[in-house]
Amino acid sequence: MPIAQPPAPTAPVTSHLPKIALVGRPNVGKSTLFNRLIRANRAITHDRPGVTRDRMEGQVRSRGKRTFAIVDTGGITLDAHAAVAEGPEGIRGFEAEILRQAEAAMAEAAGICLVVDGRDGLTPFDEHLAAHLRRAGKPVLVVVNKVDGVEREDEMLAEFHALGFPLLPVSAAHGHNVRALADEMRDMLPDGPDELDEPEEGDEAGEAGDADDFGPAQDGDGAEDEGAESGAPAAETKGPAYDPTHLRLAMLGRPNAGKSSLVNALSGQQRMIVSDVAGTTRDSVDVSFESGDRTITFVDTAGVRRRSRITDSVERFSVNASLKSTTKAHVTLLVLDALQGVTQQDKRLVDLLDERKTPFMVLVNKIDLVPRKLMPDLEASFKGMLEFCPHVPLLYVSAKSGKGLGPVLPMAERIRAECHVRVGTGQLNRAMEEVLTRHQPPVVRRVRPKFFYLTQAETNPPTFVFFVNDADRIQTPYARYVEKALRRMFRIEHAPMRVRFRSSHKKKGE
């Protein structure tokens, strides 16, 4: 039975902050503690052990206190001699990779929290981990989890004193002592310039910082807004704010299409666990790196299968998080498997993104494995898939060889810039006159539609509203012609666009 909701996909960049790593055996509550500290349901939590594989980073913020990063890691099941201890089925075969991820987190961290299970007591593997951490030469705090009240603290902490580290009893599930844990973590940080959290009025993290239980904040994201219905001249911005120094990209696709391999190749880091096993990635994990004067964040997500084939609750949470990530990213990279060709699920994902007007591009991965003589047919099939959204860029790449990866980031930046195009009303109406002059709307039921004026209602994506005498007389082919003309005039070649027709019996100004 799951004990948390699907994770929220958005996370702040943490590369500039001091870090605290959470390490421990599987199923001791690291991910629940991570969610409690960052006040967001980002890490998938389940009472089945071995759910977490990749490491995940988040910020711990409290009003007027130093902000720092924490790193959630998968459950370690390798003992001191690198032999596999008996571990949960969910991480079998990934033990070495999970250990590598945990060691990378510890190497970057200023301090380490060894999370143990107070109900299970001290286990031999806890002792192995404590000995390993002692050799790391960094501050270590033993966090005894699942201690639900002060009345049992002495009893449940007694045997953990043998580890020789400071102890702190907490309950991640109920919030007991989590505020004290955050303060203890701050004491482990090195001296440096304090980045104090001073949220503005109404800021969610700041309000949560005053809560007694240090409880997770609700992500509160509803269904995607389909856009404004008014034709107000001032263009409104939807979706993520435009920040030229930060580009956020969500990876989406079926299982085993190569999303994690592409993240590693594009970021230049072996950040994500990669294997031939479909469904390796479960959490939506942020991977940030610097490129010139910009920060680029990839959100690697779990593979999306047909809902009818999903019977596991963990996979259901992962898929929900994957789809939600596309609404929080500037651009979505839809990764397809060249060896599998175009599948029905690929078409469903394209239709979903196009219907939501999500900025996206298609990356056909594993192109190095396709024989050259089959390429023309393969390209024709993928182009046919995009017949109804021809503005979407289609790139053929190989994460393994690096082929075709050069244009990916520039194209993503171009799509993001096009999403924020704003056009003045005067220029719009001159464009409308030119469009109508070239090709008048056809007569429908013995009446030709009259166009009064054109305005831009929104950006991200650009949304243009034509005011006409009868919107029902605008036929689909003419609407497509108008969209193509606007794209050509305003150089919106690859971003999604909404073109709407609104019935009005008055010209502007009447």
Q: Is 269 helix (H, G, I), strand (E, B) or coil?
A: coil
- Nearest alpha-carbon partner for 18 in 64, 67, 75, 54: 67
Instruction: Look at residue 48 in the predicted model and tell me its pLDDT.
Output: 55
**Tens digits of residue pLDDT in 485-504:** 999 999 999 999 999 999 88
- Degrees, nearest 5: CA angle 39-40-42: 140
Q: Is 61 helix (H, G, I), strand (E, B) or coil?
A: coil
CB 47 within 8 A of CB 69: no
Instruction: Look at residue 228 in the predicted model and tell me its pLDDT.
Output: 32
Q: How far apart are CA 211 and CA 178, in angstroms?
A: 11
- Nearest alpha-carbon partner for 343 in 307, 306, 369, 368: 306
Residues 31, 133, 280, 368: is their CA dihedral positive or negative?
positive
Q: Which residues of 161-170 are buried (b: 16+ CB within 10 A; e: fewer)?
A: eebebebbbb
Query: In the chain, how many H helices and how many E strands?
Result: 13, 16
Indicate if the pLDDT at residue 347 is higher than 70: yes
Mean pLDDT of the chain: 78
- Degrees, nearest 5: CA angle 267-273-274: 90
**Tens digits of residue pLDDT in 414-438:** 999 999 999 988 898 888 888 888 8
Here the tokens at position 123 are 């286990």
Indicate if the pLDDT at residue 153 is higher than 60: yes
Q: Is the peptide bond before 6 cis (omega within 30 degrees of 0)?
A: no
How much of the chain is helix, strand and coil, in % rounded to 5?
Answer: 35, 20, 45
Element housing 335 (H / E)? strand 331-337
CB 273 within 8 A of CB 54: yes
**Tens digits of residue pLDDT in 372-403:** 999 999 999 999 999 989 999 999 999 888 99
**Tens digits of residue pLDDT in 171-211:** 888 888 899 999 999 999 988 665 666 554 444 444 444 44
